[in-house]
Amino acid sequence: MFDNFFIIIGRHIISFLYFLGGLGNLAFKTIYFSFIPPYKKGRIFEQAKKAGLDSLPLVSLIALFIGFIFALQTAYFMQRIGSELYIASLVALSIVRELGPVITALVVAGRVGAAITAEIGSMQVTEQVDALETLAVSPMKYLVVPRFLALSLMLPLLTIYADAVGILGSYIICVFRLGISSSIYLRVTAEALFYKDLFTGLFKTIFFGMIIALVSCYEGFNVKGGAEGVGQATTRSVVFSFIMIIIADSIFTALFYFIFP
């Protein structure tokens, strides 16, 4: 029993190390090819539209309700101690520092990352990736780099939008439900936020976008077993992206607010 247990654990560790090695190799090649012309601007804009513009409805809905929920939860406690005015600052800081960047990244990973893995995985299964190499077209340059650059650029923009919508949701609850003055709410929010809060929230989303693109493409290129393999790779892509985004967020939070405050 214990022998099988350690064998299973060992296999999982080796598999995870293999995954990290493959991901690191893909990241190195992607960054290298990102600086080598010609630049496929059309494909970058196409992927940017899929990652950014097409994600706006879902991001809007989730960010708005995050603002609603967080304002209501905070108000439940703040009203008991007579500090309703601090709801604006708490919600603004929480959304700009953590909730906005992380929730947006998770939404994009679930929506766009899964689509990338399924698309590249289908191409891998039907040997379209091999066909690109036969035609002297680099799969890295044609498939990975546009998605890598698009997600790295669009995720910070989506996060700014999500932050604004989330704060709007809190504003609606505080002004129309709790009776807080609109001018006071806006003033408290502006006083609570500093450039560091906005910068740290946006800076890490660049890396979140890189993580989503690299994990999704890696899983897509390593699909095996036909349609079933595509489905399994898509699931792994979303799960691994979620895990790595949370780990990266923890590291950046420790760096920005504890190690280099």
Give one word for 136, left, alpha or beta, with left for phi > 0 and alpha for psi -120 to 50.
left
Predicted local confidence at residue 228, as pLDDT: 85
Task: Round to whole Å and give the CA distance between 131 and 221.
Answer: 14
Predicted local confidence at residue 2, as pLDDT: 59
CB distance 119 to 217 below 8 Å: no
Number of domains observed in the structure of the chain: 1
Task: Round to whole Å and give the CA distance between 95 and 89.
Answer: 10
**Which phi and psi (to 5°) does residue 225 adopt?**
95, 20
CB atoms within 10 A of CB 79: 12
The pLDDT mean for the chain works out to 90
- H/E run at residue 112: none
Which residues 6+ apart lie within 8 Å of 18 measured at CB? none
Domain that holds residue 186: 2-259
Q: Which is higher by pLDDT, 252 or 228?
A: 252
Which residues 6+ apart lie within 8 Å of 202 measured at CB? 101, 156, 159, 160
Instruction: State yes or no: cis peptide before 38, omega within 30 of 0.
Output: yes
Average pLDDT over residues 111-118: 94
Task: Round to whole Å and give the CA distance between 56 and 43.
Answer: 20
Residue 6 scores a pLDDT above 80: no
Predicted local confidence at residue 3, as pLDDT: 64
pLDDT in tens, 18-68: 888 999 999 999 999 988 887 778 888 999 999 999 999 999 999 999 999
User: Given pLDDT bands bounded at 50, 70 and 90, which one contains residue 120?
Assistant: very high
CA distances to 66, 124, 220 from 230, rounded to whole Å, are 32, 9, 8
Q: Which among 89, 94, 84, 99 has a CA at the least distance from the CA of 191? A: 89
Rg (CA), the chain: 21
CB distance 93 to 196 below 8 Å: no
pTM: 0.92
Task: Round to whole Å and give the CA distance between 29 and 146.
Answer: 13
Give one word for 39, left, alpha or beta, with left for phi > 0 and alpha for psi -120 to 50.
beta
Q: Which among 155, 164, 153 has a CA at the least distance from the CA of 111? A: 155
Which residues 6+ apart lie within 8 Å of 256 measured at CB? 196, 200
